[in-house]
Structure 1
Amino acid sequence: MKNDIIFVSALFGVILVAVLGMLLFRTSGDTVTVTVDGKTFGEYSLDQNCSVEIKTEYGFNLLVIKDGKAYVESASCPDGICSKHRPISYDGESIICLPNKVVVSIDKQDASAPDIIL
């Protein structure tokens, strides 16, 4: 019984450190990439406020980029889960609309990174 308590406490500690590390060291993104059915629909800067109409054969999504954050304001999908998602702004975050096959993701364009490594 004592070993179980020690194991669970250690496991909880490792999880807590991992979550805190992810929250403290996440970086803001600077580009919104929209893909539809696996193909790039467009790339937009988080620095410019704009609305993007994503009209495809699968449906309609209205992407809003405002104050450095991106969110789906409205969508033609039946459940609208993508439009209920909180705004995203950090590198690696995404909003996915499965019925419309739309993925909105945040990327960090690192100008100092090499284009290719040989």
Structure 2
Amino acid sequence: MKKNDFILVLVMVVLAGAFFIGREFVFSENNLVVQVKVEGQVYKTVSLREDIFLEIVNSKGKKNVLEIKDGKASITHADCPNQYCVHHKEISKAGESIICLPNQVVVSIKGDEEAELDAVS
């Protein structure tokens, strides 16, 4: 391998590494939103960068409380009997969801990455 070939390969590796690092840390978190659906209808959409508590009430008066803090979303309280949604890990990446079946609440992270995955799959 000649000197110029080695330099070309090194430049390509550095550019590829910069692309993947930039995509992971810069572009992936910019446009992420938390979409809350209740009984199949969009209830609210909030930026993942906002720190909020959101009380979610379905048509039967059952409540869930969504907390978004430090770029992560979680259900902190629910009136459902099994509490699976409360014990679910925090979500922070496009495509992740927390679902409360008894209260018919779905909390999903939406963003640019998810659109890319749909196009590929």
TM-score (normalizing by structure 2): 0.66
**AA at the equivalent of 1:89:** S
Counterpart in the other structure of 1:32 = 34
Shift of residue 30, structure 1, vs aligned partner = 1.2
Match for 1:74 among 74, 77, 95? Answer: 77
In 1, are the aligned partners of 2:39 and 2:58 still within 8 Å (CA)?
no
Counterpart in the other structure of 2:119 = none
Further displaced range: 67-76 or 27-36: 27-36
Counterpart in the other structure of 1:42 = 44
CA distance in 2 between partners of 1:52 and 1:93 (Å): 18
Query: Where in structure 1 do 4 or more consecutive aligned residues deviate above 4 Å?
Result: none
Structure 1 gaps of 5+ residues are 1-24, 114-118
Task: State how 1:46-61 maps to structure 2 within 5 Å.
Answer: 46-58=48-60, 59-61=62-64
**Other structure's SS at 2:86 match:** helix
Match for 1:65 among 42, 49, 68? Answer: 68
- Over the aligned positions, Cα root-mean-square deviation in angstroms equals 2.0
Matched residue count: 86
Task: Name the % identity.
Answer: 43
Shift of residue 70, structure 1, vs aligned partner = 0.2
Structure 2 gaps of 5+ residues are 1-23, 117-121
TM-score (normalizing by structure 1): 0.67
CA distance in 2 between partners of 1:105 and 1:97 (Å): 12
